[in-house]
Structure 1
Amino acid sequence: MYRDIHEESHFIDQGNDITDVLYLGNFLSKDSADHYYESVSNITARIKAIFTVADKPFSGILPSELSPDFYCIDLNQPLTSLDSALDELQQIYIKDAVYFHHPKYVAHLNCPVVLPADSHKFRIFTSVVSHFSTQKAAALLGLGYNAVVAVPYDSEFRMDAQALEQSIALCLSQGNIPLAIVATTGTTDFGSIDPLHAISTLAKQYGLWLHVDAAYGCGLLVSSRHEQLLSGIEMADSVTVDYHKSFFQPVSCSAFFVKDKQHFSYLTYHAEYLNPLSASLEGTPNLVNKSIQTTRRFDALKLWLTLRVMGAKQLGLAFEHVVDTALQAYQLMLPNPYFELVHRPVLSTLVFRFMPEQPRGDDDIDRTNAYIRKALFREGHTVIAGTKVNGKQYLKFTFLNPATTLQHLNEIVDAIITEGKNYPTIYNSQS
């Protein structure tokens, strides 16, 4: 039986240290600097040792021969130590990797891309508060920004399913071609999650591709308490995730998933000098066969090591903690007359604004909040974000550090109030 995210507060209060359940040494901070240095030194020493003895660019062991070793690994059972994870990594990857630095490695990679022809009537539907990358993607595809239809949201900043259906109907009546729906699980500002079941029903009804932007909300996948918020994501045709957000990975670390892997074939172009068809038929993997990008870093290694050292459960606990922190901030600020809160947090963001005691109109409130953010940033003790809601200036917390405590929250809130109170004096002195 699933529990609603707001059914219980689940706060980790001041008497319950997060270190009791989560080893914060795995997160980069001043307290883990020595551990980080030792880890990097360990890895560097291992790589040096490998490069020193490498007498050829490749072991000759094919990916198809290595595949069984990967299937024997249970990612749900982390190794807990970096040394163990590195030992395993050396066995399954490093010793049989292609050493492109070797003087006998003489390959070069390049690949063309293709563009659809009849596209001027295509329309993509997404929420008004979805990420701007949908518009950028449409432009890169040659469809233009106007191909994206902004669908109104409801009182909780989720895409309004009824408005979506009306937008699709209007599109058809105008002779245009509905192409896809982009739903969001975790909007950038509000952390809101679109109604996936209702949206997927409409996608199926009208024969549209359903893409889910789970770049932020993907951390819910490893949360035992909140995974139900992603119910319906399994009906998507494709999903994007940013592991460098709620999976706590270094930038960049993202992934694109499709329900039917055959859809990757539309991106495939075989070039004899790069990814010949014969290699694919032999089972040799090449990421260029399912990517617009050609030369790529091994970003998956970051996530692999994290899962092998920490495990999915620890990542889930970390994300649950930052969700709790956002709710804690909400409850702390809600009764305070100096703050106007826009929403109750769903994930780990909170949008709000400081309310002066005697504001001189909406413009004064906007100027005050813009000043607060810049003043705090200039002082360097606290960094908060800013955004606009209905044309008005707001402030925003984005919690993604499990080490943030109630004491930190109190200090941040006090600093915001102090700068907000200081602004009238600053403004008058500049007038």
Structure 2
Amino acid sequence: GYEDMVIIGSRLMHYSLNKAASILGLGTDNIIFVDNNSEGKLNCKQLEEKIQECQENRLFILALIGIAGTTETGQIDPLWKLGEIAEKYNIHFHVDGSWGVPTIFSDKHKGKLKGIEKADSVTICGHKQLYLPQGISICLFKDPQLLNYAATTARYQAQQDTYDLGRFTIEGSRSALSLCLHGALHIIGKKDTKC
């Protein structure tokens, strides 16, 4: 019953969202941009107006994108409020935390990410604040079963019911760079003093 599909979020969304829209076949014209308020954060009032316009025009909103640390300014969108709006309108809530999610490791600053727990999916790039080699990007899902929507298998690898995660990614095979992230978090990460 929908006329088209769109992605909605801040004008400060990373250019990789344009790439994602192109890969999905939506095209960049199907990204709806919401202005920022005077604090540089996504304007929630305008967001709701645009969501209602989408409903009136029978446009399915594939995802609402919140930003946890814009590339240009480091600004964090009001994640809690965006999560509430996503719940209200039953929209997948994705947080682009590529730059800012490592803030969650700081006892002093983790409160800036209040609401990230409402996200359905979150991206993190280890080559940003974690100072690791490029190519260590991760997308985490609240419901891991969502990965099955994009799963592709083959007879020779990425088979059903295996630990080959290549069946869920665009790249298929990936290097072992994730070991750098694992190692960094264990070697220089926070220590659990309760053990």
* TM exceeding 0.5: yes
- Paired residue for 2:177, among 280, 284, 299? 299
- Paired residue for 1:285, among 142, 154, 163? 163
CA distance in 1, matches of 2:62, 2:150: 18
Moved more, 206-215 or 284-293: 284-293
Residue number in structure 2 paired with 1:225: 108
Residue number in structure 2 paired with 1:123: 6
Residue number in structure 1 paired with 2:27: 144
Q: Structure 2 matches for 1:228-377, cutoff 5 A?
A: 228-277=111-160, 280=161, 284-312=162-190
Measured after TM superposition, the shift of residue 205 of structure 1 is 1.0
Residue number in structure 2 paired with 1:157: 40
More helix by share: 1
| Larger Rg, first or second structure (1 or 2) | 1
Question: Measured at CA, do residues 188 and 271 of structure 1 come closer, stay the same or move farther in structure 2, by a change above 3 Å?
Answer: same
Question: Measured at CA, do residues 175 and 309 of structure 1 come closer, stay the same or move farther in structure 2, by a change above 3 Å?
Answer: closer
What do residues 301-329 of structure 1 show as CA deviations (whole Å, max 9, x unaligned)?
A: 1112222322236xxxxxxxxxxxxxxxx
Question: Measured at CA, do residues 294 and 135 of structure 1 come closer, stay the same or move farther in structure 2, by a change above 3 Å?
Answer: same
CA contact (8 A) 1:264 1:289 kept: no
Greater than 4 Å deviation, 4+ residue runs = none
Note the residue ranges of structure 2 that are not aligned, 5 or more in a row. none
CA distance in 2, matches of 1:287, 1:300: 12
Whichever residue aligns with residue 311 of structure 1, its letter is: G
Question: Measured at CA, do residues 140 and 225 of structure 1 come closer, stay the same or move farther in structure 2, by a change above 3 Å?
Answer: same
Q: Structure 2 matches for 1:66-215, cutoff 5 A?
A: 121-215=4-98
Measured after TM superposition, the shift of residue 147 of structure 1 is 0.8
CA contact (8 A) 1:152 1:160 kept: yes
CA distance in 2, matches of 1:214, 1:205: 22
What do residues 230-264 of structure 1 show as CA deviations (whole Å, max 9, x unaligned)?
A: 11101100000011101111212110100001011
What do residues 172-203 of structure 1 show as CA deviations (whole Å, max 9, x unaligned)?
A: 22222222100001011111111111111111
CA distance in 2, matches of 1:149, 1:222: 32
Residue number in structure 2 paired with 1:429: none
Measured after TM superposition, the shift of residue 273 of structure 1 is 1.6
Measured after TM superposition, the shift of residue 290 of structure 1 is 2.1
Question: Measured at CA, do residues 119 and 275 of structure 1 come closer, stay the same or move farther in structure 2, by a change above 3 Å?
Answer: farther
Measured after TM superposition, the shift of residue 120 of structure 1 is 6.2
Measured after TM superposition, the shift of residue 119 of structure 1 is 8.5
Whichever residue aligns with residue 176 of structure 2, its letter is: F
Q: Secondary structure at the match of 2:95?
A: strand
CA contact (8 A) 1:243 1:303 kept: yes
| Percent of residue pairs bearing the same amino acid type | 34
Q: Secondary structure at the match of 1:180?
A: strand
What do residues 352-378 of structure 1 show as CA deviations (whole Å, max 9, x unaligned)?
A: xxxxxxxxxxxxxxxxxxxxxxxxxxx
Measured after TM superposition, the shift of residue 276 of structure 1 is 2.9
Query: What's the TM-score, normalizing by structure 1?
Result: 0.43
CA distance in 2, matches of 1:135, 1:119: 22
Q: Secondary structure at the match of 1:139?
A: helix
Note the residue ranges of structure 1 that are not aligned, 5 or more in a row. 1-117, 314-431
CA contact (8 A) 1:124 1:148 kept: yes
Question: Measured at CA, do residues 304 and 129 of structure 1 come closer, stay the same or move farther in structure 2, by a change above 3 Å?
Answer: same
Q: Secondary structure at the match of 2:180?
A: helix
CA distance in 1, matches of 2:43, 2:22: 25
Q: Structure 2 matches for 1:398-413, cutoff 5 A?
A: none
CA contact (8 A) 2:74 2:100 kept: yes
CA contact (8 A) 1:120 1:143 kept: no
Q: Secondary structure at the match of 1:305?
A: helix
Q: Secondary structure at the match of 2:124?
A: strand
CA distance in 1, matches of 2:153, 2:94: 26
Whichever residue aligns with residue 145 of structure 1, its letter is: T
Whichever residue aligns with residue 132 of structure 1, its letter is: Y
Whichever residue aligns with residue 220 of structure 1, its letter is: T
What do residues 127-184 of structure 1 show as CA deviations (whole Å, max 9, x unaligned)?
A: 0112121122111110011110000101111101111000111112222222210000
Whichever residue aligns with residue 308 of structure 1, its letter is: H
